[in-house]
Amino acid sequence: MSERRRILVCDDEPQILRALRVILRDAGFEPIPAATAEEALDLAAVRPPDAAILDLVLPDGDGVEVCRQIRAWSQMPIIVLSAVGEEDAKVRALEAGADDYVTKPFGARELVARLQAALRRAGEGPGEPAITADGLEIDLAAHIVRRDGEEVHLTPIEFDLLATLARNRGRLMTHRALLVEVWGPGYAEDVTVLRGHIANLRRKIEPPEGPRYIRTDPGIGYRFAA
């Protein structure tokens, strides 16, 4: 029998934490519960989990800051779970390196589906060649991106977005097409999440005075135009 994948879950509401533990166990995962930002960071550092689900508002800090600190040393999938549904909150989480943002109240099946999708993206296998363009190298097999020979650290979802655009070089990819390709059919309308990840991706791969790899067709989508 294969070992269960370990998922760090951090929420200061005991009933939510209990619910998450039950949901994850039923889905075949091993939940690692934490009630504070400090506890979550300690648990993640001692024995890194396979993914994390973080509440946005914690008694001793901010889930976005926890996300940012984890992202400084790990590329594990991170899902932010919060009752705060405003676009600014979502963008802050995505800019800190979160892979997804789920708003409370949430459905158990949706949360598990998003977690599985994030883990799937993080573990996609080898077998594809590298793509190069204007100093940018995308190694599809190794999941590594380099710009002018220097490695650029992307989250799994950022890499998946870049790889999808690069495979379709020159072709306009609509918001819907990208969302379905990267997240799945259930997320075809989540344009805010897509824009947040594209903005984050651009900051990482496009130097201030360098080439622009991703072009925007306002209101329609994006294309890899290098």
Task: Provide the domain limits for residue 157.
Answer: 130-224
122, 143, 169 - which closes a domain? 122
Residue pLDDT, tens place only, 12-51: 999 999 999 999 999 999 999 999 999 999 999 988 999 9
For tokens 């009752």, the residue is 83
What's the predicted TM-score (pTM) here? 0.63
Q: Is residue 140 in some structural domain?
A: yes
pLDDT at 125: 46
Is 22 in the same domain as 49? yes
Structure tokens at 131: 């793509």
- Structural domain total, the chain: 2
Is 54 in the same domain as 109? yes
Q: Return the higher-pLDDT residue of 70 and 84.
A: 70
Q: What angle do CA 44, 47, 52 make, to 5 degrees?
A: 40
Is 134 in the same domain as 217? yes
Residue 192 maps to which CATH number? 1.10.10.10
Residue 94 maps to which CATH number? 3.40.50.2300
Structure tokens at 8: 């760090």
